[in-house]
Structure 1
Amino acid sequence: MFKMVQGAIGVGKMLFFSVFTAGFLRYPNVNALVADKPASCDDISGKWYNQLNSEVEFRHGNGFQLHGTYGSYVNTAQTHGNSSSADATRGRLIGFIKDTALGFTVVWDTSSTMTSYTGNCYVDHERGTVQIRAAWHLVERQDSLADSWKGVRSGQAVFTRQRQQACF
């Protein structure tokens, strides 16, 4: 059975600085139907999607530990305009979650690259949805000190339980 969940947006503690602007992020503005229990950040296990349609699957380990997998479609979608699971760049993740604060690192399978995410889980009680908003840093191998500036990229991501409209 499903019901509409209404209320105010819940706010968590910030673990890492971040700037989020509504104009940058595009996701459906719809009221979501949720199961009989209210939307919550208590258990984030399962599949999540970011604004570029990359897919992350979280599994809770012991205590505060997170494990899972990440499939990024960024290069495929930007190059070809579409994506399939066979085209995804894949990685394994490990991290931690405590209350609403979380951090995890993805080690990519096909390169000497890692991406770390730090952010919070938020409940939008008006829509009955949950979002994870995080800042990220991607680090890739550089063979010379002179090129070290090329090795770090930063950005932000919003993960939801439903696929979002990709914005490139």
Structure 2
Amino acid sequence: MAKRRAAPVLAAVLLCLSAAAARKCNLQGLWKNQLGSNMTLSALDAEGTFTGSYHTAVADTNKRILVSPLRGAQQPGTKGQATFGFTVQWQFTDSVTAFVGQCFVDHRGKETLETTWLLREEVPTRRDSWKATRIGTNTFTRVKG
């Protein structure tokens, strides 16, 4: 009797696992992070490269924040949870940021980008280099629309 009950449960579990495996992350679209910054990523080309734009909600400057271009590449992987990297060339300050991350798709199909970034700003002398690099993390979720 226990074997008869286990078969449907096992089948349901396998169906859920195969559906989750079929969900692949799609980087294209509009994303927002926990600080309110927005990022738009264009479609991937055949080599896995993409472009886009980044509009930060936070900056250490008195200048007007401008939308800035980004360029990146995706390593599609075999499990659908793609890794990627991109750089943002800030248009309002003398700095650049490199992001690396991975896209995760949960069992409900929700996509999340977990990223780590390094920001390097220009400093006047090599002696000031110690304060020129910052590191942080961002979590992006897809903006529906």
TM-score, normalised to structure 1, is 0.64
1:26-37 matched pairs, under 5 angstroms: none
Q: Of residues 23, 32, 40 in structure 2, which corresponds to 1:57?
A: 40
- 2:88 matched to 1:109? no
Instruction: State the 1:44 CA deviation.
Output: 1.5
Listed as ranges, the gaps of 5+ residues in structure 1 are: 1-6, 12-37, 80-86, 164-168
Listed as ranges, the gaps of 5+ residues in structure 2 are: 1-15, 77-81
Q: Deviations over 1:17-73 (max 9, x none)?
A: xxxxxxxxxxxxxxxxxxxxx7530x2111000110100000024220110000001
Q: Deviations over 1:110-147 (max 9, x none)?
A: 1211111001111111x320001011000100111121
Q: Match of 1:97, SS?
A: strand
Bigger relative CO (Cα 8 Å, ≥ 6 apart): 1
Q: Of residues 56, 73, 84 in structure 2, which corresponds to 1:96?
A: 73
Kindly indicate which of the two structures has a greater share of residues assigned to helix: 2
CA distance in 1, matches of 2:116, 2:50: 17
CA distance in 1, matches of 2:45, 2:143: 26
CA distance in 1, matches of 2:116, 2:73: 15
Q: Match of 2:55, SS?
A: strand
TM-score, normalised to structure 2, is 0.73
Count of equivalent residues: 120
Q: Match of 2:36, SS?
A: coil
Q: Give the corresponding residue for 2:105.
A: 123
Q: Which structure has the larger Rg?
A: 2
The answer as to whether partners of 2:28 and 2:44 remain within 8 angstroms in 1 is no
Distance 1:75 1:140, change over 3 A: closer
1:37-56 matched pairs, under 5 angstroms: 40-41=24-25, 43-56=26-39
What percentage of residue pairs aligned between the two structures are identical? 31
CA distance in 1, matches of 2:119, 2:44: 24
Instruction: State the 1:109 CA deviation.
Output: 0.6
- 2:140 matched to 1:159? yes
CA distance in 1, matches of 2:125, 2:111: 42
CA RMSD of aligned residues (A): 2.6
